[in-house]
Structure 1
Amino acid sequence: MNIYYVTAQHKLHPQSHTVASPAGNELKIRLKTFQLLLLLVRARGEVVSKEHILDSIWDDVLVDEQVIFQSIKEIRKLFRGYDVIKTYPRKGYAWIADIEEVSSPHPSGNTEAIQDNHSLAEVMEPQPSLYQRFHSILKLKNVAIYMSLLASLLVTIVAAIFIFNQTYQENSEAVISGSLVILPAQNELSDTDHKWVRYGAMDQLIQRLSSSDTLGVLQADYVIEVMKRAGMPMQHYTQEQIGQIFQVSGASFIVQMKLTGSTRDYRLIYNFYRQDGVERGAVLDNNVSAAVDQVAQIIADKLSHSPKIDQSSYHSSFANEMLANALELIQEDKTAEATSLLQAAIATEADNLTANRLLAGLLVEQKKYSEAQELLNQAIAKATLSTLDNELPRLRLWQAINYAQQGKVDYTNDILAQAKSEASKLKDWLLLAQIAEIKGQMHFHKKEYSQARQQYSLAMDHHKVLQCPYGQSNILIRMSQLALAEHDLAMAKNTAERSLHIIKQRELSTLEPRIDAWLAKIRAHRSTEEH
């Protein structure tokens, strides 16, 4: 007895691990992807967790959740034009198309063809009323009435297909999750009045868009860090280099802008990159900021988000050329030069909160705690009165780090609590992950291992919203360190290897020396215990 499934007009054959198209053609599909497809279909609408998928399909290898995303993408491509999988953020996936299980004693004969036609008719049946109308038509002897009803039926079916396709397209736009990356704008205007556009337009677009429960908008300075990991220049980058952003980050939507035209007659060309393609367009305006706001509205419509276009004008902190240059110097580890530029930027623009934050961070790293604290106190006072609400929790984070490095734990906890509350309102998943990691480290150093584990797990959850491989691999190293402190060598090794797998798979070369050194330390501990 041969069992196969009919769903979304496709036939799934478990014995041969094949999928047949509505036309009867065998479609190419990887074995693991087919196994995942079968797992979802057999769950019949129930949500299947990512953990269960990994344990069931990839139990023989050490992989991360990225393999699931890739296979889900392959399945959706295979069933292009049909709404078959629904994503439940932080929970898993469910197969939502109708399913017919068919038993056939003749898997390759005419009997199967007859049964297939019958099952396909049932799967294609839009609703009982249409099915009844179809049978009533067969009983009619009057040809004119028959043709009239048949035409009516065809119009109904065509309308249903159109509505289905429209709904599918709308749902496809809404399933975007992970992180949204806005790249520095390319500026083809040669005059000095528009030098601010490279980072200023980028930051304006970022601030106009808001994060959601499933999608995080990365802030400008973190985007520059991601570009560095991807080996990507700040200007004149290629499409292949943009593709590398997907590899090293959790990006699901990347925006590239290019300003052309002439003064008061601007053309802002945009490219929206997804892993399965690119969409291009342009907006025209006599004001650059207004053109950027138009692009923000287009993105918001695609993501089903509401842009924060509630100000008549917008002044970006990154419009300051000295700050923009300092940001690049920080990524090149040229601390002294970056410090000088930021000090100059603040001297000319004292209320530039981003410049204040970046300089404070450099001062903390240089252990100039008093100087950093004075700067942070002034900046936080200004931030409480500013409309740039995203800067306040970030300033508090550096204030907490500054206190923590001086051993002032009580101050640190209070400030982190404030920063967490403010970041939660903004749904700033990266900042929330950083806060949880710092709290985890504080518990770890106090040997409060249970509390440390809770904070690390919380940080991991936030990184998973962004689908950030760098953040996840870093937290796995923290968890491995925790396991070793608890003398669980097996767990320490397993967790470190999970981190190493992500690092290798996603080409996170900056983390490789750290994980290699840590694995060597674990091996040394094991060798010591054995002897």
Structure 2
Amino acid sequence: MQQVSSSNKKTYIAAIVVLLLISLGCYVYLTLTKLAYLQNGTVLVLPVNLTSDKIEPQWNRYAAMDMLIHQLNLGVNYPLLQTEDIINIISLISRKHSDKAADIQQIMAISGAVLVIESSIKGTNNQYQLAFTLHKQHSSESDVVNVASIEQALLTAAELINQQVHPQHSKITEQFDSRFSPPQLIHAIALMQGGDSVAAEEQLSALIDTAPDNLVALRLLAMIQLQRHQYQRLNSTLTAAIIEASRQKDERELARFRLLLAQSYTETNKIEHALSVLSIAKTNAAKVQDWLTLGYISQLAGVINQRIGRNADAREQFKKAIEYHKMMGYPVGQTQALNDLAELEMVEHNYPQAYRYINRSYELVAHRRLDDLETSTLKIMSKIENKMQHR
């Protein structure tokens, strides 16, 4: 009897070991499959297409996109582009291909995103259907939710996406009111995209009179004033904006307002003021891991340092800019910083190094189809080649 019992015990233990090995194998397989399923990188949410017989005033394609972004919690491996960054990228693509809508592959190439989320909401009789598609490089997955409100549709879709991309996420349920809700703001953005900055400034000023706490409106107004060299107005706008952003404890907006202020100081030759403001802006951006803004802060710091002859500091800042933009996979920022580095090395007569940088830059331009940067990149490359031939 003891022999039979011992034999059964061994069989039982062997079965448990086999089951454990199978379970471990399944876990490893699923983990590897998930990693292959979606590589680490930036996520871009497209504006939400809204078609309904009755849409509440606070909803538009940008406000819905903004809320969806806010409700996504995809983990550190999948940083999200912010609403205004996405609008800028779409505008860049639209200028290149004004005769047709940009396709997903173009958006991925120029933004550097590994995942693009496309969605639409249809509604009738207080019933809403949100259909969304997760576009990856070589595949896509779709799903649909049916609920009683636009807000609930966005919340439900966000939770489904969170579960697919980042199953260990913590659920977000906080109240969120998008700064992109006012119709005047949407009209102003359309005017800016159409090149009518005067009318856009009027729309934004009118909106700020009634909603002085709308930080997006304040920043867009500041951008127009900087573009039009209205430095006194710009200073007043940014002073009010920084006070309001501080009150709201919005580190991301504080970083971007201070970047604009540093740009204005640079253009008016207040160099030391510009560097001081950039240092504070860098702290603001780092607190919220705003890698794109950190990239542009470092790039401007490099330009300023080169202007005042601190070439070693400039080189360090340009390299930091490249690294920050790499963290978002953003090829436009990488190309701009590589071009700056190449020109700096050319000034210091380091022509082989300059050529290596400009060659890396052109590879990005060609591979990502960055047509807006092709002419300037080739011009720098030609200058370097001429210098190398006449050494």
Q: 1: distance between equivalents of 2:181 and 2:149?
A: 15
Residues 211 and 426 of structure 1 are in contact (CA less than 8 Å); yes or no, is this contact kept in structure 2?
A: no
Structure 2 counterpart of 1:191, one-letter code: K
Quote the residue 1:322 is aligned against: 184
Quote the residue 1:205 is aligned against: 68
Q: 2: distance between equivalents of 1:464 and 1:484?
A: 24
Quote the residue 1:245 is aligned against: 107
* Residues 1:488 and 1:157: Cα distance change in structure 2 (over 3 Å): closer
* Residues 1:307 and 1:423: Cα distance change in structure 2 (over 3 Å): farther
Residues 183 and 255 of structure 1 are in contact (CA less than 8 Å); yes or no, is this contact kept in structure 2?
A: yes
Quote the residue 2:128 is aligned against: 266
Correspondence 1:196 to 2:56: no
Q: Following TM superposition, by how much is the alpha carbon of 1:158 offset from its aligned partner in structure 2, in angstroms?
A: 4.5
Higher helix share: 2
> Cα deviations across residues 284-306 of structure 1 (Å, max 9, x unaligned)?
33232233223333333323574
Quote the residue 1:474 is aligned against: 336
Q: Which has the larger radius of gyration?
A: 1
Correspondence 1:436 to 2:298: yes
Structure 2 counterpart of 1:215, one-letter code: Y
Q: Following TM superposition, by how much is the alpha carbon of 1:389 offset from its aligned partner in structure 2, in angstroms?
A: 4.2
Q: 2: distance between equivalents of 1:160 and 1:211?
A: 25
Quote the residue 2:166 is aligned against: 303
Quote the residue 1:498 is aligned against: 360
Partner secondary structure for residue 274 of structure 2: helix
Partner secondary structure for residue 296 of structure 1: helix
Quote the residue 2:274 is aligned against: 412
With normalisation by structure 2, the TM-score equals: 0.87
Task: Provide structure 1 residue ranges, at least 5 long, that are not aligned to the other structure.
Answer: 1-139
With normalisation by structure 1, the TM-score equals: 0.65
* Residues 1:204 and 1:153: Cα distance change in structure 2 (over 3 Å): closer
Q: Following TM superposition, by how much is the alpha carbon of 1:187 offset from its aligned partner in structure 2, in angstroms?
A: 0.7
Out of 255, 272, 280, the position equivalent to 2:117 is: 255
* Residues 1:194 and 1:234: Cα distance change in structure 2 (over 3 Å): farther
* Residues 1:447 and 1:166: Cα distance change in structure 2 (over 3 Å): same
Structure 2 counterpart of 1:497, one-letter code: N
Partner secondary structure for residue 421 of structure 1: helix
Q: 2: distance between equivalents of 1:209 and 1:426?
A: 15
Q: Following TM superposition, by how much is the alpha carbon of 1:201 offset from its aligned partner in structure 2, in angstroms?
A: 1.0
Structure 1 counterpart of 2:113, one-letter code: A
Q: 1: distance between equivalents of 2:224 and 2:358?
A: 30
Partner secondary structure for residue 56 of structure 2: helix
Where do residues 344-383 of structure 1 align in structure 2 (5 Å cutoff)? 344-383=206-245
Q: Following TM superposition, by how much is the alpha carbon of 1:186 offset from its aligned partner in structure 2, in angstroms?
A: 0.6
Residues 255 and 270 of structure 1 are in contact (CA less than 8 Å); yes or no, is this contact kept in structure 2?
A: yes
Correspondence 1:427 to 2:289: yes
Residues 363 and 371 of structure 1 are in contact (CA less than 8 Å); yes or no, is this contact kept in structure 2?
A: yes
Residues 229 and 508 of structure 1 are in contact (CA less than 8 Å); yes or no, is this contact kept in structure 2?
A: no
Where do residues 226-241 of structure 1 align in structure 2 (5 Å cutoff)? 226-231=89-94, 241=103
Q: 2: distance between equivalents of 1:211 and 1:425?
A: 18
Quote the residue 2:201 is aligned against: 339
* Residues 1:328 and 1:513: Cα distance change in structure 2 (over 3 Å): farther
Q: 2: distance between equivalents of 1:205 and 1:484?
A: 45
Q: Once structures 1 and 2 are overlaid, which stretch shifts more, 367-376 or 244-253?
A: 244-253
What is the aligned length?
384
Q: 1: distance between equivalents of 2:55 and 2:12?
A: 70
Q: 2: distance between equivalents of 1:494 and 1:283?
A: 50
Quote the residue 2:26 is aligned against: 162
> Cα deviations across residues 8-62 of structure 1 (Å, max 9, x unaligned)?
xxxxxxxxxxxxxxxxxxxxxxxxxxxxxxxxxxxxxxxxxxxxxxxxxxxxxxx
Identical-pair percentage: 26
Higher strand share: 1
Quote the residue 1:460 is aligned against: 322
Partner secondary structure for residue 119 of structure 2: strand
Structure 2 counterpart of 1:431, one-letter code: T
* Residues 1:480 and 1:332: Cα distance change in structure 2 (over 3 Å): farther
Quote the residue 1:14 is aligned against: none
Partner secondary structure for residue 118 of structure 2: strand
Residues 196 and 321 of structure 1 are in contact (CA less than 8 Å); yes or no, is this contact kept in structure 2?
A: no
Q: Following TM superposition, by how much is the alpha carbon of 1:220 offset from its aligned partner in structure 2, in angstroms?
A: 1.3
Residues 53 and 124 of structure 2 are in contact (CA less than 8 Å); yes or no, is this contact kept in structure 1?
A: no
Correspondence 1:485 to 2:373: no
Q: 2: distance between equivalents of 1:305 and 1:410?
A: 45
Correspondence 1:284 to 2:146: yes
Q: Following TM superposition, by how much is the alpha carbon of 1:144 offset from its aligned partner in structure 2, in angstroms?
A: 10
Q: 1: distance between equivalents of 2:97 and 2:55?
A: 18
Q: 1: distance between equivalents of 2:171 and 2:11?
A: 54
Structure 1 counterpart of 2:337, one-letter code: I
Q: Following TM superposition, by how much is the alpha carbon of 1:526 offset from its aligned partner in structure 2, in angstroms?
A: 4.7
* Residues 1:489 and 1:524: Cα distance change in structure 2 (over 3 Å): same
CA RMSD, 1 decimal: 3.2
Residues 74 and 169 of structure 2 are in contact (CA less than 8 Å); yes or no, is this contact kept in structure 1?
A: no
Quote the residue 2:47 is aligned against: 184
* Residues 1:319 and 1:307: Cα distance change in structure 2 (over 3 Å): farther
Q: Following TM superposition, by how much is the alpha carbon of 1:397 offset from its aligned partner in structure 2, in angstroms?
A: 1.4
* Residues 1:388 and 1:144: Cα distance change in structure 2 (over 3 Å): closer
